[in-house]
Amino acid sequence: AVDTSKITKTAVTGGYTCSYTPASALSDGAHTVVATASDYDGNAAEQKSVTFTVDTIPPTLSISAPTEEFITNKSTLTVKGTTDDETSKPVAITVNGVPIPVTNSGTFSKDVTLKEGSNTITIVAKDKAGKTTTVTRTVKLDTAPPVIKSATITPNPVDCGKTFVISVEVTD
């Protein structure tokens, strides 16, 4: 209940405008305002109510794949994760700016095409109140095979039963 002495009433053409500022911030979640009015003759108007939601917390966003600094030789990579928001569902997800579907349980999955070298993948969760959470992953597509620059045996020729060393120089 609200202390009605804290309600400010201002006359405007055709009626009044009322305002109220709570002593402390409202908690996250749903709140309902019920308006009542009566005239000086005691006639009461039908109550009207409106429900609104306070949301100060952005949605959660957890990415299960890929991991940061992931290296692959496949040009297609699946981005997977989960999202949730206690007060402002549903949560919308974009991967590199492209909207993708989110299940009722908050899971999502999207195939991304990689280019050779370093790729940045940006995943954004946005709730109904406009709050966002962003996770960025950098992954590398490496389709070039390693190159064997040299291979040597020391000593060469090798005596039977003797120790020898094989040295290989590889670049990638």
Q: What is the 3-state secondary structure (H, E, C) of 124-145?
A: EEECCCCCEEEEEEEEEECCCC
Residues 127-152: what's their mean pLDDT? 95
Confidence band, pLDDT 50/70/90 cuts, at residue 16: confident
Residue 119 lies in a domain: yes
Span 71-112, pLDDT tens digits: 999 999 999 999 999 888 899 999 999 999 999 999 999 999
* pLDDT above 90 as % of the chain: 77
d(CA 33, CA 29): 13
> In sequence order, what E strands does the chain have?
8-12, 15-19, 29-35, 48-54, 60-65, 70-72, 76-84, 92-95, 98-100, 107-113, 117-126, 132-141, 147-154, 165-171
Clarify whether residues 75 and 133 are in a common domain.
yes
Confidence band, pLDDT 50/70/90 cuts, at residue 25: very high
Span 36-81, pLDDT tens digits: 888 889 999 999 999 999 999 999 999 999 999 999 999 999 999 9
d(CA 65, CA 70): 9
Domain span at 44: 4-54
Cβ pair 80, 65 in contact under 8 A: yes
Q: Pick 15 or 63 by higher pLDDT.
A: 63
Candidates 66, 170, 71, 68; CA nearest to 117 is 71
Task: Give the C-alpha distances (Å, rounded to integers) separating 39 from 8, 24, 35, 42, 168.
Answer: 17, 31, 14, 5, 97
Domain boundary among 38, 54, 70: 54
Residue 91 lies in a domain: yes
Q: Which residues pair with 81 in a beta bridge?
A: 63, 108
Confidence band, pLDDT 50/70/90 cuts, at residue 1: low
- Predicted confidence at residue 5, as pLDDT, reads 82
Q: Name 30's Cβ contacts closer than 8 Å, sequence gap at least 6.
A: 51, 52, 53, 87
Residues 119-123: what's their mean pLDDT? 98
Clarify whether residues 104 and 127 are in a common domain.
yes
Residue 110 lies in a domain: yes
Structurally, the chain folds into a number of domains equal to 2
